[in-house]
Structure formats: C-alpha cells, structure tokens
Amino acid sequence: MFIGHYGASFAAKRFAPKLSLGAYFLGAQLLDVFFSIFVMVGIEKMRIVPGFTQVNAYDLYFMPYTHSLVGSLAWSAAGAIAIFAITKKTPEAIAFGVVVFSHFVLDVPVHTPDLPIFTEDGAKIGFGLWKSWPASVLLELAVFGVGAAMYWKLVRPIGKKRSQLAIFLAVLSVLCVATPFLPPPSSPTSFAIQALFGYFVLAFFAARVDKPAAWLS
C-alpha cells in the first residue's frame, strides 16, 4: 500500500486538526521512511524480483525493526512522544501515533506474509492482495477516498483553495492507479532513494495544501 496510507493522514485532521497535514503524511509513511534508511545502511533487507506480485517487485524478506507488530507499536509510541514534546498537544500526539500504527494495519491486507509479529524468526502475516492489482487498488482508493472526504468536509474549501486541494487529490489518485505500472527500481538502494524522495515531496505538498486551513490552528 502506498497512497492508501494517506487516507489515515486526512482522517487524522478531523480529530486533531492543529497538526499540519504534512506532518501526518510523514507519520503515515514513518515506518517506510526508516525502512528505506535501514535498507540503505544494510540493517533491513529486500530484493527486487520483477513479477513478484502484480502490484510491485518487492520481496521484503527482512524488516523486523520497522514492519513487525512490536516494532510498529514502538515507532508509533516514539512518534507520539516526539509530537507531544514539540507541540505540547495531547490530541495531536495521539493522532500522530495512531497514524503511524495505521501503516502496519493497512499493510496487513496487501503484503505477502512478510510482516513479523514479534521477531523475524517467528510468525509473519499478510493476506497478499498485492497479488491482485484490481483488489489492491480498490482497497487503496477506498481507504484514501474516505479519509480525503473527511478532510474535504472539515476544511470546506472554496475558490482557489478548492482547486488546489482537488488537484492534489487527483494527483494522488493517479499515482495510486499508475504506480504498479512503473518500471521497478534497479536495486534496493535505488528503491530507498526514490521512496524517500517521494515521501518527503508529497508531505511538502500536503503541508502547502493544508495552509489555507490554518484557521484551524
């Protein structure tokens, strides 16, 4: 799952609106941000295997620190603590932690069984919807759409604000549908670099789009 994770980011603004949408975007991908970094330095591992699933070519065979149930809970708690330390706002800190953990929850339906419960040597889960491009994309669009609708209702954009948000949502929707058809990266390091670039660029634009809703602060 990629764009679908941002559904949780949009929804979080409904319950804790004083944190930037850009921050929630980073929270939704925090596990993947650190996974990408860990891949680059050799702590966690993956293989590029063309045709591995219909959606992507990623054999994610060693990621116990970022994508295990226990690891996800730890990163969620750390994220919530960090946001509280920065903002002193309890609802936003809790919402951020929930968004971080939502990444693991939303990964379970789509991943092949590569998500550890406790350790790499123990049980792993994943229902494998990535094996079906239509099923995976429909799930992503549904989760993304519900969150986006909640955000739209919250900010009630008009005029230029409406156009900016509509364009941003359209771009994300196109990315959701088109990403599986893009050529796979040449190596795990290339994947990590591309992923980090994408996460931060989308978070930047999410923060920009969110600026018209600054009255919520």
pLDDT confidence of residue 212: 55
Residue type, 118: F
Q: Which residues contact 41 (CB under 8 A, 6 or more apart)?
A: none
Per-residue confidence at 1, pLDDT binned at 50, 70, 90?
confident
Question: What is the percentage of the chain residues whose pLDDT exceeds 70?
Answer: 97
pLDDT band at 158 (very low <50, low <70, confident <90, very high): confident
3-class state of residue 62 by DSSP: strand
In the numeric block, which tokens belong to residue 167? 């364009």
**Judging by DSSP bridges, how do beta strands 124-125 and 58-62 pair with one another?**
unpaired
**Per-residue model confidence as pLDDT tens digits over 19-48:** 999 999 999 999 999 999 999 999 999 999
**Are the C-beta atoms of residues 35 and 67 closer than 8 Å to each other?**
yes
pLDDT band at 90 (very low <50, low <70, confident <90, very high): very high
Cα-based distances in Å from 44 to 22, 36, 64, 105, 175: 26, 8, 8, 20, 26
Distance, CA of 187 to CA of 184 (rounded, Å) = 9
Q: What is the pLDDT of residues 174-204, one digit of tens each?
A: 999 999 999 999 999 999 999 999 999 999 9
Amino acid at 162: R
Instruction: Give the 3-state secondary structure of residue 51.
Output: coil
| Best CA proximity match to 105, nearest among 136, 72, 134 | 72
Q: What is the pLDDT of residue 214?
A: 42
Residue 213: pLDDT above 60? no
Q: How confident is the model at residue 216 (pLDDT cuts 50, 70, 90)?
A: very low
